[in-house]
Structure 1
Amino acid sequence: MSYITKTFTFEGKRYYVRGKTEREALLKLANKRRDLEEGKVAVSGNMTVSAWAYKAVEAYKTNQKDITKVKFIRRMKKCVLDEIGDMPLRIVKPFDCQMVLNKQAGKSKTQINETYQTIKFIFKTARINNLIAIDPSVDIVKPKGYKNTRRSLTDEERYHFLKVTETEPRFVLFLLMYYCGCRPSEAREVMGKDISFINNQPVLHIRGTKTDNADRVVPIPEVLFEKIKDTAPDNYVGTNIYGEKLSQSSYDKLCRKLYREMNISMGCKVYRSQLVPPYPLAEDFVPYCLRHTYCTDLQKKGVDIRIAQYLMGHADIKMTANIYTHIDENTVLNVADKLNKKCNS
């Protein structure tokens, strides 16, 4: 049976109700709005999973940075609440939790783990508040997924990436990742006031979005500085088509545009404005590859790993070491070339 969904906004928060009929959905919407206005949303096992989840975030996620909390809520809604959000807490069974998690099968291990942790958070906090007698998420099992592999750009990808960034001014956002090691979320926050000088060297203050260690100052290469030096202090360097700060949706659109332009540059055919398979650009290319490339470039230029840790904004040097000790195909070929020269000398 398909349900009818109605939405409304109350004090800046979006609420969803579902009903078997239009009349039932409208009645639930009216009752929900009335309860919110009168402050009657009681903390009890009769609460829906959604109602408790948002309250739990407000109570237990106080130490999270705003951007981290927004990401958590977005994932919580999409992966969990859209599935079982309308169910009362007290009737959710282990089977329900497992089926929600099973929906992530075949996706990245990172996404599966984040969904797993989100489910556990919702029901663990409900249990410790005595809203439910038994935590239905205790024995859920993670389905199989693939491991995210962060990698550097290949020489071919690097060539075409730098080529297409000259064709679209908004691609400067990706250059912040490539030349300064910004995380995607950090690049979206960069403003003109973050650009300054130390002894005539242009530097960028990256306002870290992940940990305290993420807040850092990195040098800006001249090729990038020329593109961003005239950004007004209160303007964002990376913007949407209207010159405004990139939202998640406008950022996703810009990523798709980058993929498209790189594929075309690499020789992909186009028919009626649509790309024709096969696509030359590797499927595992993502903007995060640009940040990974920045780190491997630091390694190749002999930058001390402790300095690289700071420039990358890593809280744990092991994260930097994982990149510094990674052996790519180009490294293997360079060693082979050196060995061949030695053998022939």
Structure 2
Amino acid sequence: MKKYNYVRKTFSWEGKRYTAYGKTEMEALQKMVELKEALKRGEKAINDKTTVDRWFREWIEVYKKPSGITEKSLDMYMQKYNGYIKPVLGSLPLKDIKEIQLQKILNEEAGKSYSHVSKLRMVMRELFSKARKSRLIVYDPSEDLQLPAVMKGSNRSITEEERQHIQATAQIHRAGLWVLTILYTGLRPGETATLLWKDIDFDKDEIHVYKALESGTGAIKGPKTQAGNRDIPIHSALRGKLLAARGDPFAYVFTKVNGKPLTADAMQQLWKSFVRAMNLEMGATVYRNKIVQPLVADDLTPYCLRHTFCTDLQRAGVPINVAKELMGHSNIAVTANIYTHRDGKTLHHNIQKLSDWEASQCDKTSGKKEKKMI
């Protein structure tokens, strides 16, 4: 029996060594070329030993981009993966990923917005679910992931990402002025519904608030407490927009399309329309004029805008007693509940104020000692 001395050709591909064999030099080279091409197509490189990072890149190229995903949606996937998953798991083989590792990544985001944490979990689920369906791994480590405690519901501030998209959508949607008014004044939605143009005092740069749409009845009544009667200075970012839309003194500032006053149902529909436009602005997936993959958090409500006004006051260093008056709270404890929400930038800013004060006290003490020595 004739024995062959096989020719071996080796090469590296993405940090891993591969070998091709042939009975002749030419055959070995040909097989090496074929193997390289197979690796480029992902036919040989993808298995349970493939790293999470390698699988993510293949998954994006093979499954997400061809699906018609928008650039903005793609950016969201890249941001969540590169910012939170890759640093922890990127270099590990798919087969070694356990549920607890993914859960720990989510738990690190506790206290942040529901939108952010739920999107991070969504990326994990899509990534590892496809790996299991492709038979690369035996089980899906992401299928039972739980969200940690997050800022959900109307009692939260908007994220900076949400703020950018809200402001962009406000430029093109008929509800834009209404949305920005809540964001820059902290008005309750029911208070905006009863606002007349004569209530906006451009000479004094104030909005006079003294009535609201009563929840449940639709009746216009005065505030439940005296604290609801207040004058809110007009934010500089809002004044020009209000002036441009200025109408008859006894006309409602915000109305339905037919010009009639806003009702609770009308405000709900107005907000729903604004959120749809915001989803489109963010690049949400649409099928037959229906948004099938929304990007706006489902807990985003008009009250989030009011809440944000309060937290913005805190970040700007406005005293809590002043914020109480601007918000129309009857009890400062209500304002304090918002002011005490953790905000890293505010905490650092105030510690710096403490450091500056202590330094000034040291300078004063040193000055007194120098005078005594003289």
Q: Sort the Cα spacing of 1:210 and 1:265 in 2 relative to 1 into closer, same or farther, 3 A.
A: farther
Question: Quick one: distance in 2 between partners of 1:154 and 1:332?
Answer: 17
Q: Say if 2:189 is the partner of 1:184.
A: yes
Question: Quick one: distance in 2 between partners of 1:218 and 1:274?
Answer: 39
Q: Say if 2:303 is the partner of 1:300.
A: no
Give, as a single letter, the amino acid of the residue that structure 1 aligns with 2:234: I
Give, as a single letter, the amino acid of the residue that structure 1 aligns with 2:225: T
Q: Aligned match of 1:314 in 315, 321, 329?
A: 329
Q: Sort the Cα spacing of 1:270 and 1:333 in 2 relative to 1 into closer, same or farther, 3 A.
A: farther
Structure 1: segments with no counterpart, 5+ residues: 1-145, 336-345
CA contact (8 A) 1:170 1:239 kept: no
Question: Quick one: distance in 2 between partners of 1:149 and 1:174?
Answer: 15
1:332 deviation in Å? 7.8
Give, as a single letter, the amino acid of the residue that structure 2 aligns with 1:304: P
Q: Sort the Cα spacing of 1:333 and 1:164 in 2 relative to 1 into closer, same or farther, 3 A.
A: farther
TM-score, structure 2 as length reference: 0.47
Q: Aligned match of 2:205 in 181, 197, 202?
A: 202
Question: Quick one: distance in 2 between partners of 1:267 and 1:231?
Answer: 34
CA contact (8 A) 1:187 1:238 kept: yes
Q: Say if 2:245 is the partner of 1:226.
A: no
SS for the counterpart of 1:245 is coil
Question: Quick one: distance in 1 between partners of 2:232 and 2:189?
Answer: 16
CA contact (8 A) 2:173 2:277 kept: no
CA contact (8 A) 2:152 2:299 kept: no
CA contact (8 A) 2:154 2:303 kept: no
Q: Aligned match of 1:272 in 288, 291, 295?
A: 288
Q: Aligned match of 2:271 in 255, 274, 297?
A: 255
TM-score, structure 1 as length reference: 0.51
Q: Sort the Cα spacing of 1:147 and 1:295 in 2 relative to 1 into closer, same or farther, 3 A.
A: closer
CA contact (8 A) 2:154 2:300 kept: no
Question: Quick one: distance in 2 between partners of 1:301 and 1:163?
Answer: 23
Q: Say if 2:241 is the partner of 1:244.
A: no
Question: Quick one: distance in 1 between partners of 2:152 and 2:159?
Answer: 20
Give, as a single letter, the amino acid of the residue that structure 2 aligns with 1:323: I
Give, as a single letter, the amino acid of the residue that structure 1 aligns with 2:187: C
Task: Please identify, of 312-321 and 281-290, the stretch whose mean Cα deviation from structure 2 is larger.
Answer: 281-290
1:334 deviation in Å? 8.5
CA contact (8 A) 2:196 2:249 kept: yes
The Cα RMSD (Å) is 2.7
SS for the counterpart of 1:169 is coil
SS for the counterpart of 2:205 is strand
SS for the counterpart of 2:195 is coil
Alignment of 1:1-345 (within 5 A): 148=153, 150-197=155-202, 200-208=203-211, 209-229=223-243, 230-277=246-293, 279-328=294-343
Give, as a single letter, the amino acid of the residue that structure 2 aligns with 1:168: H
Tell me how many residue pairs correspond in the alignment. 190
CA contact (8 A) 2:230 2:326 kept: yes
CA contact (8 A) 1:170 1:240 kept: no
Structure 2: segments with no counterpart, 5+ residues: 1-150, 212-222, 351-374
1:300 deviation in Å? 0.9
1:231 deviation in Å? 2.4
Give, as a single letter, the amino acid of the residue that structure 2 aligns with 1:285: L
Considering only CA atoms, is the larger Rg found in Structure 1 or Structure 2?
2
Q: Sort the Cα spacing of 1:283 and 1:213 in 2 relative to 1 into closer, same or farther, 3 A.
A: same
Which structure exhibits the higher relative contact order, with contacts defined as CA atoms closer than 8 Å and separated by 6 or more residues? Answer: 2
Question: Quick one: distance in 2 between partners of 1:224 and 1:149?
Answer: 23
- Render the CA deviation track for 1:109-148: whole Å, top value 9, x for unaligned: xxxxxxxxxxxxxxxxxxxxxxxxxxxxxxxxxxxxx985
